Amino acid sequence: MDEPESLERRVVERIRRDGPMTFAAYMDAALYDESSGYYARLPIGESEDFATSPHVSPVFGELVATQVKEFWQFLGEPASFEIVEAGAGDGTLAVQILGAMEPAMADIISYTAVDRSQAARNALRRNGIRIAAALGEVAPVEAGCVVANELLDNVPAHWVRREANGPLQERYVDLDTSSTLSFVDRELSMPQLGLLAASLPPGAESLVRPAALEVIEEIARVLGRGYAWIVDYGFTGGATAERPYGYRAHRLEEDVLAAPGSRDITAGVDFDALARHARHLGLVVWGPVTQRHALRSLGWATIDRVRREAQAAAIGARQGITALRAYSDRGRAAQLIASGGLGDFLVLGLGVNVDPTRVPQSMRGDLS
């Protein structure tokens, strides 16, 4: 992997050659440049810049597997079933899902892990999982499901603003008089942005993601019959992602232009837009619900009770190390449903050519 300075130099040269670039184009380069982008390495895990739910606790994958099994049952228990994981990262969730499957179901499952990052695909190869660089490379399947955990917050976004007097402007990345990366506002780069940001009030700004809607379109294309389970941090109810943030060493950073490639760039996902577009495509939509709701509906409390009993038994047997390990495991699993953290993430359920009256377990009940 090249140093971030190499990427910054190439971004500057590109702007000098071609003019200001949209923030979406900048974000794409900063995250996904093959040699120097942030995801040219694997920055995931507690010792890295951030940890996703599967890295926090394997309970996440175990409960996702419970939902996947129900999807299979809802489809009539077909003799072959395809799981497609979009944004699979290092394969941690894939290993958890497959490891939680009963032997009878494991024999009929095919698993495809999709990730744009070459570093991620290299890690996935080591796990022996079939891989693809994009959903567009995945052939349509007769029956299956798509799982996407923390994919869409990293989809490049256009940054739009509505001036006080009404017109929409788009924020571009340009060079200031000292050739330092800086922001400048210009006309919208594509008409679709005006449609997606039509309700933005005067003086407000938002991150708009046409590419996230394309992910929904790809899901509809891939699944002949099946379900999608999409998890991310985001918002509903007409809220907006007002600005992007950098993320490094488990901390938010406001400066997203310094040293491109050295930090994650992320912004909350508009789940209303996803649901609206899915309905427009004819998909069945459930939720979104919180991750806390989804995991509790799938049996989080049952797993915690078993671990609590194991902890108590270890204490009674004076097996201090075993008891401490059980206590630690319970604490990590609790992070998955914690308020103010992962528990507040949102989960959207989608169905393609399925019975809309059969509500997925993770979407049922009132447990938020």
Question: Going by C-beta distance under 8 Å and a sequence separation of 6 or more, which residues neighbour residue 234?
Answer: 152, 153, 241, 268, 269, 270, 271, 288, 345, 346
pLDDT value, residue 367: 45
Does residue 250 contact residue 49 with C-beta atoms inside 8 Å?
yes
Q: Which CATH superfamily is domain 40-156+209-233+268-298+333-353 in?
A: Vaccinia Virus protein VP39 (3.40.50.150)
Does residue 124 contact residue 91 with C-beta atoms inside 8 Å?
yes
Total residue count of the chain as it appears in this document: 368
CA distance 263 to 38: 6
CA distance 240 to 242: 6
pLDDT value, residue 162: 92
Domain boundaries in the chain?
40-156+209-233+268-298+333-353, 300-332
pTM: 0.93
CA distance 273 to 235: 10
Strand partners, 149: 231
pLDDT value, residue 3: 64
Q: How many CA atoms lie within 13 A of 347 on its CB side?
A: 31
pLDDT value, residue 17: 97
User: Phi and psi for 220 in degrees, rounded to 5?
Assistant: -65, -35
Distances (CA, A) of 149 to 49, 55, 91: 17, 12, 12
Rounded average pLDDT per 10-residue block, the chain, 368 residues: 78 97 98 92 62 95 98 97 96 96 90 93 85 96 98 96 90 95 97 92 93 98 98 88 84 91 93 97 98 98 90 86 88 96 98 98 76
pLDDT value, residue 366: 59
Distances (CA, A) of 362 to 66, 114, 263: 9, 23, 33
Long-range contacts of range 307-315, CB-CB < 8 Å, 24 or more positions apart? 307/333
pLDDT value, residue 243: 87
Measured torsion, CA atoms of residues 284, 287, 291, 295, in degrees rounded to the nearest 10: -70
The beta strands (E) that lie in 14-87 are given as 21-22, 81-86
pLDDT value, residue 2: 58
